[in-house]
Structure formats: C-alpha cells, structure tokens
Amino acid sequence: AQKVTQAQTEISVVEKEDVTLDCVYETRDTTYYLFWYKQPPSGELVFLIRRNSFDEQNEISGRYSWNFQKSTSSFNFTITASQVVDSAVYFCALSEVNAGNMLTFGGGTRLMVKP
Amino acid sequence: GAGVSQSPRYKVAKRGQDVALRCDPISGHVSLFWYQQALGQGPEFLTYFQNEAQLDKSGLPSDRFFAERPEGSVSTLKIQRTQQEDSAVYLCASSSQTSRGYFGPGTRLTVT
C-alpha cells in the first residue's frame, strides 16, 4: 500500500532564509504521481506541483524548487529566500494510477516564517 | 463557476443529527473524490466516483457515512447520527481523465 511520510511536523525560519521540506514515499507501483499542496490559514488546498514517476528532472518555479529522487523515494521541496506569506501547512501526496488516482497525503509540515 | 464548489462552508450539528454535504465538481470532470481532514492532520481518502459509479468506498469510516452521485455530476456526502469524532473538514476534488484533481474549499463540520 502507498504511504507518504513528512517527518518534519513544524519548521520555523526567519524571513529570507532557505528552507527544505522533506517528503518520503512508499509505493509498489511503477507509475505514480507526486504532488505538493499548500494550505494557508484560510484552509483551501493550493496546488503547487505534480510530477510523474518517469520524470526525475528537478523543477524550479520562482522561489520554489523540487528535488525528486527515485533511488531514495524522496520528493523534497525547497523555498528560497522565504517570505512571511509562505507561512502555511505544506502537504506532500502520492497517487497511483492503478488505484484510481486517489491521493494519499502525508501528515503535513507547518512552516512558520518570521519577519 | 470555474472551480469546485462545496456547500455549506460551515455546518454545526448536534450529536445524533444527520447532515448532508454537497459538492459541485468542475463541469465535465468524470472523477470525483471525497476526503476527510481532521484538525492538524492530512486529508484522508473517503470515496471515489467515476461518473455515477462509486468505484471505491474503502475509506468511509463507518456505515453512517454514505455518498452518492446519481447523475454523474453533483455529489452528496451524508453522515447519519453524527458523532463528535466526525468533526472535520470534508474536502471534495474532481478531475478529468488526464488532469490533476482540483479541490473545493471544503465544508467544516463541527459536531457538538
């Protein structure tokens, strides 16, 4: 069965620091997707990225970057030069194509960025 | 509307009451998912529809939970005889064959 682990429950940084959120996953499927979502205090889930299991290229989008390594089953998320507006709970998630694409979420990492 | 909508946004129920939560998916999306998010935790899968067919209900926590999508569009999650442990945010997501899932804003249920 699939599982997602976010070992960091809470991280606190000072504005402009870089921060990396860890995500480790387990799956027996060879075809799957990995996701990151942001959940600000307002509660909605904001989609950040989806990667498929065949694409291990790292991705950068502005201050955000993602490092996907199948060898270690990890999909880590780095925020460069963090800002107060980045404060939120971040969820990593996995979906297996053979499981109807339902999402299995990690427990989330609460990021607090202090001015 | 362009996104997934859910109603009501907030619901307070007394223990033992029945509640019905509605999800309006994005038009044309064949897949619809319900998730439950307890306070301080990640969302957990409840059930999945493809059009009107409920293909997976393995995540429903008890037989008090029931979901339907009779015409393959709007879905309703019903909870009978609510208990305090049912207090959570209920999230709905829809997707097409190839797209990612799009989440609604959620319904926050508080059982008193």
**Bridge partners for B23 per DSSP:** B6, B75
Please provide the average confidence, as pLDDT, over all residues in chain A.
94
Answer whether A45 sits within 8 Å of B43, measured CB to CB: yes
- For testing contact with chain B, the best of A36, A101, A109 (most B CBs within 10 A): A101
Chain A interface residues (partner B, CB cutoff 8 A) = 4, 33, 35, 37, 43-45, 47, 50, 91, 93, 100-108
- What pLDDT digit, counting tens, does each position of A17-35 carry? 999 999 999 999 999 999 9
Answer whether A47 sits within 8 Å of B102, measured CB to CB: yes
**Minimal-distance CA residue of chain B relative to A10:** B40
Cβ atoms A89, A106 nearer than 8 A: no
Distance from CA of B41 to the nearest CA of A (A): 5
Mean pLDDT (10-residue bins), chain B, 112 residues:
90 98 96 96 96 95 96 97 97 87 95 97
pLDDT reported for residue B97:
76
One-character DSSP codes across chain A: --EEE---SEEEEETT--EEE--EEE-S-SSEEEEEEEE-TT---EEEEEEETT----EEETTEEEEEEGGGTEEEEEESS--GGG-EEEEEEEEEGGGTT-EEE---EEEEEE-
What amino acid occupies position B60? L
Read off the tokens for A7: 């070992």
Q: How many CB pairs under 8 A join A and B?
A: 48
- What pLDDT digit, counting tens, does each position of A57-76 carry? 888 999 999 999 999 999 99
pLDDT reported for residue B1:
53
- What pLDDT digit, counting tens, does each position of A76-93 carry? 999 999 999 999 999 999
